[in-house]
Copies of this chain bind each other. A is one copy, B any other.
Amino acid sequence: MSEHPLKPATRAQLEKVSVATLATALYKRGLRSQVIQNVHPLSQKGRNMVGPAFTLRYMPAREDRNQLVEFRNPKHPQRVAVEECPQGHVMVMDSRKCANSASAGDILVSRLMMRGVAGVVTDGGFRDAMNIAQLDIPAYHQRPSSPTNLTSNEAIEINVPIGCGDAPVFPGDILVGDDDSIIVIPAHLADEVAEEATQMTAYEDFVLSRVAAGASIIGLYPATDEKNLIAFEAWLSQQNAKVPAE
Contacts and interface: CB of A to CB of B under 8 A. Distances in A.
B37 A100 contact: yes
Interface in A1-36: 18-20, 22-24, 27-35
A91 to B, nearest CB: 14
A21 to B, nearest CB: 9
Contacts of A179: 129-130, 144
Contact of A224 (B72, B82, B144, B163): B72
A23 B105 CA distance: 12
A226 to B, nearest CB: 12
Interface string A43-84: 010000000000000011111110010011010000100110
Interface residues of A, number: 84
Among A107, A183, A214, chain B packs the most CB atoms within 10 A around the CB of: A107
B147 A23 contact: yes
Contacts of A44: 130
A204 interface: yes
Interface string A206-232: 011001101011110110100000000
Interface stretch (A154-162, A190-198, A237-245): A154-162
9 nearest A-B pairs in the assembled complex, by CB-CB distance? A130-B179, A144-B180, A20-B127, A19-B146, A60-B163, A60-B168, A20-B146, A62-B168, A23-B147
